[in-house]
Structure 1
Amino acid sequence: INALPWGTVDQVLDASRKPVGLPDDRTTPLRLTLPAGSYYVTLRHPRSNKTVSAFARVSAGKRSETSASFPTLSAEEYLKNAGL
């Protein structure tokens, strides 16, 4: 699981919406070993409360990847948010 520029994995739910156990360090990139199936991933940007969601499909015996991107700020937006 990856997030751009980076993030922390808030939760991973299986197709039945049951939570998957996660390690203490949930910083991306995060590698998990999961049974085959479909998963819903929620990621949080560590410097804000913004979240993004991603979908992952895991096939038996294969490596799967999913990623999500957080909106980025332009230099002008950053300065405005910083009150400059």
Structure 2
Amino acid sequence: MKKTIVARLDVEKKHRVSFLSHAAIMVEQSNAEAGSLTYRLFEEVGIDGRFIVYEEYVDQQAVDAHNASTHFNTFINKITEMLSSAPVIEVF
């Protein structure tokens, strides 16, 4: 069954450029995963530093593989200190 994830990330203004650099790698590698249907990053209009990640996977197994991937864990480790609040993650 298809899984959709929407994650909201609030990035401190001083880290925006660095965050986008890491995010570009994450988006590219996540879209290349076998079970990934789409992985997109959007910046919300009118709210500085708020980013929305929209992800679609073929099933829960693909989500689990993504979450266990090296690129996902590297990204999380690098950007955690850049966030101004805890991520908000919704799974459908």
Please give the TM-score of this superposition, normalised by the length of structure 1: 0.29
- Higher RCO structure (Cα 8 Å, ≥6 apart): 2
CA radius of gyration, larger in:
1
Q: Which has the higher strand share?
A: 1
Q: Which has the higher helix share?
A: 2
